[in-house]
Structure 1
Amino acid sequence: MEQKIEKRQRISTLGQIGLQQFAPYLMNRIMGRYNASLREVLRKHGLTISQVRTLAVLSVLDGVTVNDLSVYTVIEQSTLSRTLDVLEGQGLVRREQGVTDSRVRHVFLTDEGRAEFGRAWPFMHEEFETMFNGIGDREYTALIATLQKMLTNIRRHDI
């Protein structure tokens, strides 16, 4: 118990750390800019960030449950449900009942959905390339390893 009290007394303030040295602030700025850039381009193609995130995850992990899709896409379940309604209405995804549990729904990308994501991917990749311009392979590998450790530290799901 003493160790925790001692540690608490040494906590720096945000002002002492500074915004430019506070990783959560920097991660939010980076992802905010990435999403804003994508939003501009995707809007011209009739897609939203939530829709493209959903198509992106399904392009890699087709047939996941709605609950898992919510975790992978980082979209609240109520928003994801509305997103899936739109995507299903456009013929880009389909939902199927689980084989062992009829309450569980699995989401699949249709051929049209795969093609739509194929059209969106170049824009996503271009923004990715811009973000990592001037960052070498070693730096990128180290960043990915660090981010994976961070995710393990904070995640609430096994995925």
Structure 2
Amino acid sequence: MQKGVAGESAAAADAQDGRIPALGEIGLNSFAPYVMNRIMARWNANLAEDLKARDMTTSKMRALAVLNVSSSLTINELSVLAVTEQSTMSRTVDSLEEQGLILRTPRPDDMRVRDVTITAEGRAVFEGIWPIMYGDLTRMFSGIGEDEQQAFLATLHKILRNIRRHEI
């Protein structure tokens, strides 16, 4: 993409002049949401295929991963952090609870709210799938140095702050 005034992209410069560039002018490979979607679609497809052998779905894996690093969450919080629709997460939590991998307990101060926590068995299951996830991660970043990875993550966090709707 060409640079405009003060290092801005040509698209940003055009937008300041009241002209919005066409997608064809930007190009799909220079349109960040398109590239991010391609990356995440491939990541999710690879991971789903890798997890299938362990009879694990992506939604279950995401829930266990988030709960593995969180002490306790509501289903709504879990659905945000696991990037899963709330209705899908409710069904996922039902299934994980039936499998004994998570527990739902009512909050003492508000019996309507249920806290979701991972069980020891759930942690063991997650520890079994973590090497698969980590292997996919290392393949994704193959040939990309630590400095580039950290800069990329910093940029992603800035983007997330710009677009997020939840504080978590």
Moved over 6 A (4+): none
**Aligned-residue offset at 1:7:** 3.7
Q: TM-score, normalised by structure 1?
A: 0.93
Unaligned runs of 5+ in 1: 1-5
Q: Could you list the per-position Cα deviations for residues 23-74 of structure 1 after superposition, in whole angstroms to 9, with x for gaps in the alignment?
A: 1111111111111111111111111000000000000013111111111001
Residue in 2 that maps onto 1:3: none
> What residue in structure 2 maps to residue 18 of structure 1?
27
1:12 counterpart letter in structure 2: P
- Which residue pairs with 1:48 in the alignment? 57
Please report the TM-score for the alignment, with normalisation by the length of structure 2. Answer: 0.88
CA distance in structure 2 between the aligned counterparts of 1:8 and 1:121, rounded to whole angstroms: 49
1:72 corresponds to which of 81, 89, 92: 81
Matched, 1:112 2:125: no
Which protein has greater RCO, CA pairs closer than 8 Å, 6+ apart?
A: 1
What SS class does the counterpart of residue 117 from structure 2 fall into? strand
CA distance in 2, matches of 1:145, 1:101: 38
Q: How does 1:71-150 map to 2 (within 5 A)?
A: 71-150=80-159
Gaps of 5+ in 2: 1-14
Which of 70, 74, 88 lines up with 1:61 in the alignment? 70
Q: Distance in 2 between matches of 1:91 and 1:116?
A: 11
Question: 3-state DSSP class of the match of 1:64?
Answer: coil
RMSD of aligned residue pairs (Cα, Å)? 1.2
- C-alpha displacement at 1:8, in angstroms? 7.6
Q: Could you tell me how far apart the structure 1 residues matched to 2:111 and 2:96 are?
A: 21
Question: What residue is the counterpart of 2:165 in the other structure?
Answer: 156
Q: Percent identity?
A: 53
